[in-house]
Structure 1
Amino acid sequence: MSKPMTKTQLVAALAEEMGSDKKAAGSALDAVVSIITREVAAGGAVTLPGVGKIYCRERPERMVRNPQTGEQMKKEADKVVKMTIAKALKDSVNG
């Protein structure tokens, strides 16, 4: 498995794809990330066409085990960010 693309590499690839400079591409990427973060934090969901859907899901209170001591303890209800991958992306990866 290869290394994941860094933000710098992503900005450079985005600038090349847009036919723009890296500063504009970086600003565009930061704006998209900001919009996604704000929407998901507010309880909404964002669909990126061809990539997937990012959403927040609430998890109920539950019992968990401390791996060091083996002690059972109650974990409070919390929220987790999930992503469902689009079928188009799965199909392109699987050939």
Structure 2
Amino acid sequence: MTKKEFVDGIALRGEMTKKEAEKLVNLFLETVSNNLEQGNTVGFVGWGKWEVMKRAAREVRNPQTGKKMKVKAKKVVKFRVGKVLEEKIAK
């Protein structure tokens, strides 16, 4: 699903214009992004949560050449699915 399809679905189900739906989606994404940038966790009970994790520096191997390379430590965003959503998907 693309962002446009998502906005169209919100507009249809929320009985609002596409402009209103796009504004709502953009506000949601901006709020999540801003909180993650600050290192906060964003969660919805039963649905899931996004959190910033630190990935340690490590050594990897290029599968084509076999050459070892070093990957620097970095922060990554991880999503953990909630129980209610997980059960819905499993059905």
- TM-score strictly above 0.5: yes
The match for 1:71 is: 67
Q: Which segments of structure 1 move beyond 4 Å, counting only runs of 4 or more?
A: none
Cα deviation digits, residues 29-68 of structure 1 (max 9, x gap): 0010011111112211111344210111001111111222
Q: Of the candidates 7, 13, 27, which is equivalent to residue 11 of structure 1?
A: 7
Deviation at 1:73, TM superposition (A): 2.1
Aligned to 2:34: 38
Using the alignment, how far apart are the partners of 1:73 and 1:94 within structure 2?
Answer: 38
> By how many angstroms is 1:71 displaced?
1.2
- Deviation of residue 11 (structure 1)? 0.8
Question: Structure 1: which 5+ runs fail to align?
Answer: none
Aligned-residue RMSD, C-alpha: 1.3
Q: 1:55 aligns with which of 46, 51, 57?
A: 51
% identity of equivalent residues: 34
